[in-house]
Structure 1
């Protein structure tokens, strides 16, 4: 299930395999990159506030909550994910793209902008890994540890069958201030619980993350990415501190604005304020 406000559903075949995405609106182009164990539904509140002025493309990236697995040999390491983003933009011949990355999607967006900047017009990072943040962030290291074997990865995800677990700080409790709608939560967790090929993709992705990739991207971005970089950060983020975001903004020569009364999922907690800030950046 994908929220109908995300627009028309499509599928594109890439070298790594199929990707599903939704598209709505006309105007300057925004491509959204979500984080681990969520999907395009994370943008369901934000996109309707933007689509009257912008063309919004929301992809189900292969991070454990997608519906169609990639090829068995697909590279889902951080550099492989950056290549996947670049391949997606090329397959649809998208140009002058604003790439909006949230949570670990912001880390992948940094890598994509550093290594494949040619189709991007702007990079917007929202509550995500920075050079001073671990990857996975503090409290989520068990996810990477259990990814070493299919059985341990399956076992740790079984806990998500119980809704009370969804509000734990090392699941989704520190990602959104208020409980996420149950049907949306089921869209996030059902694929990884029910499909071994989806678990394979999710396990490859989370098992290969490492802070060295974001450190390298931050060092490379000022040399290879000459377009604007902006940071939109949750003011109350408990996973990615605002102080780290400010140091990242200084390093990248980027602007930093905060979204009040929000945890990491700013599009979930404060879609109106996020839309206002993003519109201001793109209209500026």
Structure 2
């Protein structure tokens, strides 16, 4: 499916149904396939998964504001245009950063949130992966594309500077995320613009954290206990900041819990929405 927003076209999937509405937000250089596992095990829920312009999207957004705040505004417009209400908003990696920005701004239409291993506080860019991408974003789009060609090789994807410390089991999925960027010059230009905009706001999540205690709705913080990119301490800090926050740590997973522990992650979301 596609929807025309003020900044351009956003592709999305929507399982439909009358159950609880859950909107899943992916991270940088990822697309909605990140959530296929959990979505498949949440029958009865209406699962909506947008493909945001974070570098693995397929429809370019040449005139869009691709800063974190700009993409957060795009996500808020997406919820409004689809008239989604009482939403459970779920984010991991950069998606969790976007969820925090919506929470800091009041999060209209959102009744509860799930923050899964994500950028927070001063961990921006996060880990070796984030720092490498921010540096690569200084290249021209053409040279950035040449640099990213290396990710065609599984051995390179599994390095700590790539997806190696983000997922234990999701290499086949992550291999698909880089295809639009490698094939479409316009997507490379979008990715470079986003990376440069992100790098220009290093303190944005520290500022957002100062406003999180005002978020008075239920919040579930799910963190990978073996995470090497998003410090587990940050999960504990986020849960403590939120008046209705609860922390759950999940074993045998890196950052991308929907890939490494899809059934467990879906169970946690199911129980949280039922509560």
The Cα shift of 1:120 comes to 0.8
Question: Tell me, what secondary structure is at the counterpart of 2:108?
Answer: helix
CA distance in 1, matches of 2:249, 2:100: 19
1:264 match: 255
2:188 match: 199
Question: Tell me, what secondary structure is at the counterpart of 1:250?
Answer: helix
Would you say 1:163 and 2:154 are equivalent positions?
Answer: yes
Which residue, out of 151, 154, 168, partners 1:177? 168
Between 1:141-150 and 1:232-241, the stretch displaced more is 141-150
Question: Tell me, what secondary structure is at the counterpart of 1:221?
Answer: helix
2:39 match: 47
CA distance in 1, matches of 2:120, 2:174: 27
1:11 match: 2
Question: Tell me, what secondary structure is at the counterpart of 1:118?
Answer: coil
Between 1:240-249 and 1:202-211, the stretch displaced more is 202-211
The Cα shift of 1:186 comes to 3.8
Asked if the contact 1:233/1:242 (under 8 Å) is kept, the reply is yes
Aligned length: 270
Asked if the contact 2:126/2:229 (under 8 Å) is kept, the reply is no
Asked if the contact 1:99/1:122 (under 8 Å) is kept, the reply is yes
Asked if the contact 2:126/2:230 (under 8 Å) is kept, the reply is no
Which residue, out of 36, 43, 50, partners 1:59? 50
C-alpha distance 17-139 of structure 1, shift in aligned 2 (>3 A):
closer
Which residue, out of 21, 26, 33, partners 1:34? 26
TM-score of the two chains, using structure 1 as the length reference:
0.90
CA distance in 2, matches of 1:266, 1:87: 27
Asked if the contact 1:131/1:248 (under 8 Å) is kept, the reply is no
Asked if the contact 2:132/2:161 (under 8 Å) is kept, the reply is no
* Counterpart mapping for 1:1-284 below 5 A: 10-26=1-17, 27-50=19-42, 52-70=43-61, 72-148=62-138, 149-181=140-172, 184-209=173-198, 210-223=201-214, 225-253=215-243, 254-284=245-275
CA distance in 2, matches of 1:123, 1:200: 31
CA distance in 1, matches of 2:130, 2:54: 15
Post-superposition CA distance 1:236-270 (Å, at most 9, x none): 11111211211222122321101221111101111
Post-superposition CA distance 1:124-147 (Å, at most 9, x none): 100001114232434431211221
Asked if the contact 1:83/1:116 (under 8 Å) is kept, the reply is no
CA distance in 2, matches of 1:25, 1:103: 25
CA distance in 2, matches of 1:73, 1:200: 11
Asked if the contact 1:45/1:267 (under 8 Å) is kept, the reply is yes
Question: Tell me, what secondary structure is at the counterpart of 1:264?
Answer: coil
Contiguous gaps of at least 5 residues in structure 2: none
Asked if the contact 1:121/1:228 (under 8 Å) is kept, the reply is yes
